[in-house]
Each structure stands twice: as structure tokens, then as C-alpha cells.
Structure 1
Amino acid sequence: MSRLGSLGARLYRGEVGYDFVGKRKIWYAISILITITAIVGLGVRGLNMGIEFSGGAVFTTPKTSISETHARVKAEEASSHPALVQKLGNGTLRIQISELDTKQSVKVQEKLASDLDMKTSEINTQLVGPSWGEEVASKAWLGLAIFMVLVVIYLAIAFELRMAIAALISLIHDLSITVGIYALVGFEVTPGTVIGLLTILGYSLYDTVVVFDGLKESTRGITKQSRSTYSEFANRSLNGTLVRSINTTIVALMPVAALLFIGGGFLGAGMLNDISLALFVGLAAGAYSSIFIATPLVVDFKEREPQMRALTKRVLAKRAAAEAKGAPEMEFEPDETTERDDDDESGYGGDSRGAATAGTTGTRSQPASRARGRGRPSGKRR
């Protein structure tokens, strides 16, 4: 069995774990710092809107050996505006210049033909008006609002309202970071960017829903016991799904990284950059927020309830009494449904009943529930 799989089994059984919930103030501070940096970048640099949103012209030249740098310099001299030049696979150049009207585009086309030693008729010109981009943006905002409302309703029904609010906050956190990084990197915002941003909404919620489902199952009837607090159950549930979240995130990031670094970096495919950067940042931020933001927020919300406050007092009082007697209380006591054989490397299918007597002839295995009191001074169940 792989080391990662073995670690996942140990996390699932509760043998090892990291106190994610207990250190939530650190994660909150890191997220606030990242979010502020993204917002500052967005306010200072702003988004580099494509011609679909700002309007402009796209010039396509015939097959040529002219470099992208030379063509960009000539295009900026001809138009007095920043130009984006891409070398297409068939050897042609795609020159994109924003904020050009029809009269200006004709002059730029003639100037480009003269500077690049081409005929004016050989350069194809396509004008794009800003109204189309505004329509796309308005529909994207409408779709985002509808999606968030439906997410809150669904999670409130499937889980509870506090979990829905925590998931919504983590989703806004992911979108803010993605948009801020777009501003800092300076990538052009195109309809492909909008598609990427809308796509990451589902990915951002995937890990969060997985963790919430495990948390819901593990905390069912939590107020009827006095062994562990809500935060301890939440932390144990989070550790149990940690490796699964890491694996699914890595698998999802690998093809997106190939699009971003290979397709966009080496092949110069601009549209791939627009979609892949949004997906890459959104997936990474979604995995982070599901572990470090969403679940700790649920704990903060839940521990304000009177029932959970009373539970915490009972647990702490019981542990203080046990420590006073010199017999510290276990944080998590195994029960019949969660006990596993420590020698089972898979960690998911072993049954530990009778493990202590395995290999002893003539000894009958006892149910696990009867062995719960072993190791205590009185030998009695509490």
C-alpha cells in the first residue's frame, strides 16, 4: 500500500490528525491577507478587458515570417493603442487592438499593410462592438446570482443553513482570489474567462460538500454524548476526508496545468490561457477553502448555539474530573461502528473484534462493545 494511502487510512481511523479547526484563526488571517492583496491588485491595476468587452478591431495577416514583437511595435505605432499579437498555427498573425472604431480601423489597416510589406486587401479586419461583451457580462452576473441563491437553498435543505452560509462565504472567497490574481497577472478578460469563472463554482463546492457530508454523519446525535466537543468531531471528520480532497484536487489540476503551462505557455494559445488560469486558481482556492475556511466557519457558527455550549461545558467538566482522578479521558472513544483492526493496512475493511485473542486456541472472541471498559481503573463503562 502506498504511503499516501496508508496515511489516509490512519487519518480515517483517527490514529493521526492535524488540528485544522483549533488553528482556524491562523487560516482566517492568511485568507484575509490573500483576499486584501487580490482586492488591492484589482483596484490598482484593474482588469485587462478584451475587445469583446471594450470594443476594438482584430487584424489577421496572411502567412508571414514577421515576428510577433515586430508586428506588435508596428501595430502600436499605427494605432497609438496597446496591441496583442499572436502567431497562429498556420503562420498568420492575429493583431488585436482595443478601442478602435470603423474609421480608425481603416487607417490602421492601411498603415499595417505598409509597415509589414503587405497588400491592404490581404489583411482581414473584424470589428467588435462593446455591446456584445456587456450583454455577456450582464448574463454572467445574473447566472452567478441565481447559482448562489440555488446553492444556499440546496445546502440549507441537504445539510443546514449554517453550512450553506459557510459554503457561500468560501465560494465568494475563491472568486475574489481568482479575479484578483487575474488583475495581478494581467491576463486579458475574455468570454473564455467568464466561462472559466462559472465553471469553477461547481469545483469549489465539491470538496466542501464532501467534508460537510462526513461532518453531518459524524455529529448526528452529538448532544447525547459527553466525550467530545463539536469542534473535535469536525476536526476528525476533516482529517478523515483530507487525503481524498488532496487526491481529487491534484487529479483535477493536472490537465488544467497542462492547458495553462504547455498549451498557453509553449504553444501560445491565448484562449487556453483565459480558461485554464481561471480553472487552475479556482480549483486550488476551492480545495484550500473547503479545508481551512468552510469547516472552521461551521464550527464557529455551531458553537454559538446553547446546546453546543452546554456540550462543551460537559466535556470539559468530565475531562477535568477524570484528570483529577489521574485517569485522563480519551478524546475519542471507539465504538462498534468505527473500530478497525490496527494491523489491517487498508484501514477501511478490517474488523477488530476478537483481535486480542487472534491465534489463541479455544478462546472465544467477545463483542467489541464489551471491551470498552478495559484499561480503566474500575473496568466499568461510563
Structure 2
Amino acid sequence: MEFFKYTKTFNFMGKSKLAMVLSIVLVLGSYVLLATKGLNYGVDFAGGTVIQVKYDKNAPIDDMREKLKSNKLFDGASITEFGSPDEVVIRMKSTTASVTVDIGDVTREALSGTGKYEIRRVDIVGPKVGNELREKGIMSLILATIGILIYVAFRFEWRFAVASIFALVHDVSIALGAITLVGLDVNLDVLAALLTILGYSLNDTIIVFDRIREGVSENRNSDLADSINESVTRTLARTTLTSLTTFFVVFTLFMFGGEIIHSFAFTLLVGIVVGTYSSIFVASPILMWFGFSVKNYHEKLAKKAQREAEKERMRAQYESGVM
């Protein structure tokens, strides 16, 4: 399916400096938010208790707060709406000290007299488990990034690998900044979304890089900026179709998927937009700024072809019995 007809080459690299200024502002702004406001770790990473309660009518949040004050177990608990006015979530940083105590039964007793309701979910994570999950989550991001660096360096060359890593760090940083800005809880769902962003952005970047390598291989006399502009233009239709279809699906999940998937969908929405942008305006310019040379690249290709030809010649001599 041809969404855009390839009739002219867009000068993407001509806008690269402006795009990089925008990227630097967004990344630095994200780091400032992370340093000042900090991530709001959810129960998965910070430990604590989450209780989801659904009423048959609008939840009496003020009455619930008064009732919970009578039990020290709920000291510092927060009560917020969960998707609709009749459903709320009670979040506590503490957990029950004894395994024989059912926090669900304690909650039912504390909320007696507030109306007709049902307890739909009780999640309890100890602080030690939360710390382990957080450490393993950070390690998974680091290992994924290292694996990507090795893969891209092996498939292309080190400049492509460095450019792709810069793009991935750019995407994850802005996604974390957006999460911090809106105050979402960072839990396993958000971690899964961040890992998905790494894969999505890398896939888009690899396709652009593959086209750049193909364009450079076909025309040894072209300028690198011209090759990048032509390559990105040729992949523009594919990038637009892929990004838009993915965006619409995730946006549908964000709007109608419910509060459970809200954090995951929001993180992915930011990642799709930023990942598509970085594949064009971050990864490609960095490749040029790191001094990728079309001439040197063709010299490497020529040497590689010469080595392959020599191997074939020696193999032919061996098979014919001539040494």
C-alpha cells in the first residue's frame, strides 16, 4: 500500500539542529522533573497495600476517610477514584504484620455503614520484594540497552550503534519525564511499556538505518546528508502507517481500556510519538555528527569484497586440487 508517493526528497537534515534543540530541552526538562518531583513508585516497586472497592452508587470518599481513621492500620492511606465515581482505590504504604490477618476483612469491618460495596482486589507487596522488583526492573532496562548496542554494532557499525542508543535514551527519558509530570504510579505495567518502547523505537530506527546503508552503498559520490534525506523520505510512508495504526490502537486502550491499563497505555502513547520522531530527527543526525564517512564506508566494502573473493579463489583451488 502506497500512502505517500515518492516524488521529492524532504530536507530532514536541514531541520536537524532545530529538532536537536527541541530534544535537548525535552530531555533536560525530564531530568529536572525526575530530580525535583521524582518518580511516584507504585505498590509493585515501593511495597504496600492496594484495595479496590466498588460501590453500587457514587463512593462516599469523605465518609470512607472518617471510617478508616478509626484503625491505625490505615494511617496515611489515600483514597482516590478508580476510573468511575463509584469505584475507588485505597493505597497504603504499610502491610499487615501477620499473615493471619486478612486485610480484606479488616477493610470490610472499617467501611461498615458506608453503603453497599464489594472489595474487588487486594494487592500486598512487602518493601523487600518491592526493592527487588525495582532493582531487577532497572537491570532489565540496562541489559536490554546493552543487548541492543551489541546487535546494532554487529549488524551495522559502531556509529550506528551509538546513534541508536542515543535515540533510545532520548525516548525513555522523555517518557519518564511525561510519567513524572502527570504523576502516574511507576509499576510493572509502566516497566513493560518502557521495554516495549525500546523495541518499537529500535525497530523504526533499524529500518531507517537499513535504508541509509542501502542508499550509501548504491551511490558512493552522494553526500551523507543527501543520502539520509532520501532514505528517510523513502521510509516515510511505512513509518507514518505503522506509527498511526499503532497509535490509534493504543489510544483506544487508553480511552476505553479502564484504569488498570491506563499507565501502560499512556506510557506507550508517549513512546510511539517520541520514538517515531527520534528515528528521523535524533538517530540520523547523530550518525552524521559522529563522522560517518561515505568514502571510508565504500573502502570497507571494497576490502570486504576483496577478502570474500580471495576466499572463493582459495576454495576453488582446493576443490580443483591446485594448491
User: Which band: TM-score by shorter chain?
Assistant: 0.7 to 0.9
- 1:334 maps to none
1:270, distance to aligned residue in structure 2 (A): 2.2
* Counterpart AA for 1:229: D
Displacement after TM superposition at 1:162 (Å): 0.3
- 1:116 equivalent in structure 2: 114
**Matching residue of 1:240:** 234
Q: Please tell me whether residue 150 in structure 1 is matched to residue 139 in structure 2.
A: no
1:378 counterpart residue number: none
Q: Report the 3-state secondary structure (helix = DSSP H, G, I; strand = E; otherwise coil) of the residue aligned with 1:59.
A: strand
Aligned match of 1:199: 196
Write the deviation string for residues 326-358 of structure 1: whole angstroms up to 9, x where unpaired.
xxxxxxxxxxxxxxxxxxxxxxxxxxxxxxxxx
Report the 3-state secondary structure (helix = DSSP H, G, I; strand = E; otherwise coil) of the residue aligned with 1:137: helix
Q: What does residue 79 of structure 2 align with?
A: 83
Distance 1:288 1:125, change over 3 A: closer
Which residue number in structure 2 is paired with residue 293 of structure 1?
282
Give 1:61 shift. Answer: 4.4
Match of 2:28 among 36, 51, 54: 36
CA distance in 2, matches of 1:118, 1:23: 60
- Contact kept, 8 Å, 1:83 with 1:97, in 2: the verdict is yes
Most deviating of 235-244 and 62-71: 62-71
Is the 1:256–1:279 contact (alpha carbons within 8 Å) kept by the matching residues of 2? yes
Aligned residues of 1:109 and 1:125 also touching (Cα < 8 A)? no
Amino acid aligned to 1:296: P
Unaligned runs of 5+ in 2: 297-323
User: 2-side partners of 1:295 and 1:253: how far apart?
Assistant: 23
Q: Which has the higher helix share?
A: 2
With 64-73 and 234-243 compared, the bigger mean Cα shift is at: 64-73
Distance change (3 Å), C-alpha of 1:283 and 1:123:
closer
Residue pair 2:216, 2:294 contacting (<8 A) in 1 also = no
Cα deviation, residue 128, structure 1:
2.5
Is 1:67 aligned to residue 59 of structure 2? Answer: yes
- If the length of structure 2 is used for normalisation, what is the TM-score? 0.78
Q: 1:129 aligns with which of 122, 126, 129?
A: 126
Q: Does 1:252 align with 2:246?
A: yes
Structure 1 unaligned residues grouped into runs of 5+: 11-15, 264-268, 309-382
Distance 2:67 2:208 in 1: 52
Given that 2:61 and 2:79 are in contact with CA atoms closer than 8 Å, whether structure 1 keeps it comes out as no
CA RMSD of aligned residues (A): 3.3
Q: Give how far 1:44 is off.
A: 2.3
Q: CA deviation at 1:253?
A: 0.8
Shift of 1:115: 5.8
1:179-328 equivalence runs, <5 A:
179-220=176-217, 222-223=219-220, 225=221, 228-263=222-257, 269-303=258-292, 305=293, 307=295
Displacement after TM superposition at 1:277 (Å): 1.1
* Cα distance in 2 for residues equivalent to 1:49 and 1:17: 46
Out of 11, 19, 25, the position equivalent to 1:27 is: 19
Provide the C-alpha distance between the structure 2 equivalents of 1:233 and 1:75, rounded to a whole number of angstroms. Answer: 68
What is the Cα deviation at residue 102 of structure 1?
2.2
- Contact kept, 8 Å, 1:58 with 1:96, in 2: the verdict is yes
Shift of 1:306: 9.7
Identical aligned residues as a percent: 28
Given residue 67 of structure 1, which amino acid in structure 2 is its aligned partner?
A: A
**In the aligned structure 2, how far is the partner of 1:247 from the partner of 1:122?**
43
Check the 8 A contact 1:60/1:123 in 2, yes or no.
yes
Is the 8 Å Cα contact of residues 54 and 98 (structure 1) preserved in structure 2? no
* Bigger Rg, structure 1 or 2: 1
Once the 2 structures are TM-superposed, how far is the Cα of residue 58 of structure 1 from its aligned partner? 2.8
Bigger Cα displacement from structure 2, 128-137 vs 234-243: 128-137
Contact 1:75–1:95, Cα closer than 8 Å, also in 2: no
Instruction: For 1:24, give the aligned amino acid.
Output: S
Measure the CA separation in 2 of the matches of 1:71 and 1:199: 41
Q: 1:28 to 1:283 in 2, by over 3 A?
A: same
Secondary structure of 1:9 counterpart: coil
Alpha-carbon separation, structure 1, partners of 2:111 and 2:248:
42
* Separation in structure 2 between the aligned mates of residue 162 and residue 75 of structure 1, nearest angstrom: 61
Q: How does 1:351-362 map to 2 (within 5 A)?
A: none
Per the alignment, residue 96 of structure 1 pairs with: 90
User: Match of 1:55?
Assistant: 47
CA distance in 1, matches of 2:166, 2:112: 55
C-alpha distance 284-299 of structure 1, shift in aligned 2 (>3 A) = same
Is this contact kept in 1: 2:55–2:115, CA < 8 A?
A: no
Q: Secondary structure at the match of 2:267?
A: helix
Number of residue pairs matched? 288
